[in-house]
Amino acid sequence: MKKLLVPMILLLYSCRELPKEMPADTAKIADSSRLMQASKPDTAQDQLYTSDLRPDRLVPLEKIFVDTVTYVDFSGDGDYMLCFIRKSSQLLSLVCDNVPEGKLNFLRGDTLEIKWKMDSIWIAGEGERLDFAEWLTNVRKIKDGKVEAFRKSNPKPIKYWHAREKSYGEDFKDYLYRLVEYYIAYSEKELVKAQLHNAENNGFVYSIEEMEKNDRHYTVLGLSVDRGTHSNIIQWLYLDSETRLFYEYDPATDKLVEFK
């Protein structure tokens, strides 16, 4: 299996007053508006901060917290390495510069126990700016997700194709491949599940193309059963080029339904 690589994920640094006012599914690192001062703090250690991993309380710097989360992905692009996770269906990121990259070789959907703390970061720009974010300090897998079982029962690589005139980087193709694996393993669509349990399973194949829909740009994947010389699409999948949100297409309503 190919080495875990992901494309650059844009992180939007935006001010916020309270966590409840932020979108429920936006990966983010907070800025200094997270700071909520205790009464007359003497040092930075006395200051308290908001965290989406602890939405019901304020947290101090350097204190270690433990959480059970679902692994999503890893990004080594940008000024900081980031680990993306879900907790209570909310997509979050933690800085993971202090964790060896090889220790983050998980599969999307794996259940992890993480240890983390609130600590400082520096935001690049015209004069670096001090901010604060959740830092991952330790992590271990406590349960395999469904992708591991899918790989064991379907050892043949999933095939894919795209138009010759369209060029995609290897990192991005690896990223799409992992998304398709994850979709097949977790899909509730009857045609996908039927193919998985078919004794004569020929495997899956998908196409890659670009499309505009409702004034947004998407990478569109056409998932089908591998029948050699021909194939019929059993599910269209959409990846938003800006937000990286992943969708199933519902032909009955002509709408995109987020696939988490």
User: How does pLDDT run across 222-249, given as a tens digit for each residue?
Assistant: 999 887 766 789 999 999 999 889 999 9
Task: Choose one of 127, 144, 161: the last residue of a domain.
Answer: 144
Q: What is the pTM of this model?
A: 0.75
| Structural domain range at position 74 | 19-144
- End residue of a domain, out of 104, 122, 144: 144
Is residue 221 within 8 Å of 207, Cβ to Cβ?
yes
Q: Does 69 lie in the same domain as 25? A: yes
Q: Are residues 133 and 157 in the same domain?
A: no
> pLDDT confidence of 70, banded at 50, 70, 90?
very high
Residue 40 is assigned to a structural domain of this protein? yes
Residue-wise pLDDT tens digits, 126-161:
778 888 999 999 999 999 999 999 999 888 889 999
Is 111 a domain residue?
Answer: yes
Of 118, 144, 170, which residue sits at a domain end? 144
- 42 and 153: one domain? no
pLDDT (0 to 100) of residue 14: 34
Q: Is 90 a member of any domain? A: yes
Q: Are 101 and 125 in the same domain?
A: yes
Question: What is the Cα–Cα distance from 235 to 6, expressed in whole angstroms?
Answer: 23
Q: 136, 98 in Cβ contact below 8 A? A: yes
Report the length, in residues, of the chain. Answer: 260
Residues 172 and 226 in one domain: yes
pLDDT band at 104 (very low <50, low <70, confident <90, very high): confident
Give residue 183's pLDDT.
97
